[in-house]
Amino acid sequence: MSKFAKLGICLGLLFAAVYFLFGPRFWLDSIYGRDGSETKAAVLDVVPIGSRIETAKAAMEAKGFRCRMMYNQRYSGDEVSGSQRQIEYPAADILWCDTGDRPYQGIIISKRWQVIFEAKDDAVARVAIGVGLTGP
Q: Determine what percent of the chain is predicted with pLDDT higher than 90.
A: 46
14 within some domain: no
CA-wise closest residue to 45 among 56, 54, 58: 56
pLDDT in tens, 24-40: 444 457 778 888 888 99
**Would you state the pLDDT for residue 23?**
47
Q: Average pLDDT, whole number, for the chain?
A: 81
50 within some domain: yes
113 within some domain: yes
**Would you state the pLDDT for residue 24?**
45
pLDDT in tens, 64-102: 999 999 999 999 988 766 556 788 999 999 999 998 765
Q: What is the mean pLDDT of residues 51-66?
A: 96
88 within some domain: yes
| Residue 55 pLDDT greater than 90, yes or no | yes
Query: What residue numbers bound the domain in which 127 lies?
Result: 31-134
* DSSP track, 12-24: HHHHHHHHHHH-S
110 within some domain: yes
Instruction: State the Cα–Cα distance between residues 113 and 31, nearest whole angstrom.
Output: 9
**Would you state the pLDDT for residue 83?**
58
Q: What is the mean pLDDT of residues 109-122?
A: 90
Q: Which residues contact 72 (CB under 8 A, 6 or more apart)?
A: 91, 92, 93
